[in-house]
Amino acid sequence: MPHITFMPCGLAGEVAEGTTLLEAADQLDLLGVAGLEIPDGCTRQCECCTCKVRIVSGWDHLSAISDDENVLLADNGAADDDRLSCQATIHGDVVVWFDGT
Ligand code: FES
């Protein structure tokens, strides 16, 4: 199973392939362990960009970025290594940066 690490808190674990980054945060209890909640302002419908996270490594282990996600990230001034955690599914080891800011 793919291994995901959330930085800078260091929370890590394995999740089933195809799990979204946001689902992984839920499954590993990012909120309970690190006090960090990734906002899902549009209930994970690829409409708000509040769930944006930075990919530290493993970009190629995520699902391809859709046109809708790409437009939403660009419209919100996202960096080149940002993904929407509600849209990107995990297909290999990844390291994600989310510090709540
Ligand atoms: S929760 Fe709105 S785009 Fe991900």
User: Domain-by-domain residue ranges, the chain?
Assistant: 3-97
Query: pLDDT digit of tens for each residue in the chain (101 aa)?
Result: 999 999 999 999 999 999 999 999 999 999 999 999 999 999 999 999 999 999 999 999 999 999 999 999 999 999 999 999 999 999 999 999 999 98
> Which residues, including other chains, have CB under 8 Å from residue 35's CB and lie 6 or more apart?
100
> Which residues, including other chains, have CB under 8 Å from residue 73's CB and lie 6 or more apart?
49, 52, 65, 82, 83, 84
Q: How far apart, in whole angstroms, are the C-alpha atoms of residue 1 and residue 100?
A: 26
Q: What's the 66 CA to ligand 1 centre distance in angstroms?
A: 13
Determine whether the shortest distance from the Cβ of 49 to ligand 1 is under 6 A: yes
CA torsion angle 70 44 63 55 (round to 10): 70
**Four-way CATH pick for 3-97: 1.20.950.20, 3.30.565.10, 3.40.50.620, 3.10.20.30:** 3.10.20.30
Determine whether the shortest distance from the Cβ of 73 to ligand 1 is under 6 A: no
